[in-house]
Amino acid sequence: MYGITICSITMSKNKLTKLSELMVITMEECGELIQACSKAIRCNDYHNDSLKEEIGDVMCMIELIKSNGLITQREIDNQIQIKRMKLMKWSKLL
């Protein structure tokens, strides 16, 4: 094998490890939320069930990330504050 391996998914009998599976499912759910947001814009329907479902799915995955010790609520709250400051500077949302 030539080159340098930068990142690899740990496999055990062709199955993802628990944390790898957590990351993959989180990525998939984030992708589904992106699609629901896009559809909400295209259809001018911001109160649809698909959007609510995908937001809930992503929130569930964030809770699982926390319960697996990858991030704490305190760290999330800190990042929320940082993002709010950026939004106050660069957008009209806040």
Ranges of each domain in the chain: 15-90
Q: What's the pLDDT at 24?
A: 97
Average pLDDT over residues 16-30: 96
- What's the pLDDT tens digit per position in 39-90? 999 999 999 999 999 999 999 999 999 999 999 999 999 999 999 999 999 9
The encoded tokens of residue 19 equal 């944390």
Instruction: Say yes or no to pLDDT of 18 above 80.
Output: yes
Q: What's the pLDDT at 34?
A: 98
CA–CA separation, 85 and 59 (whole Å)? 22
Which residues have a Cβ under 8 Å from the Cβ of 84 and sit 6 or more positions away? Answer: 94
Q: What's the pLDDT at 1?
A: 47
Instruction: With cut-offs at 50, 70 and 90, classify the pLDDT of residue 16.
Output: confident
* CATH number of the 15-90 domain: 1.10.287
Please state, in angstroms and as integers, the Cα–Cα distance from residue 27 to each residue in 6, 20, 74, following that order. Answer: 19, 11, 22
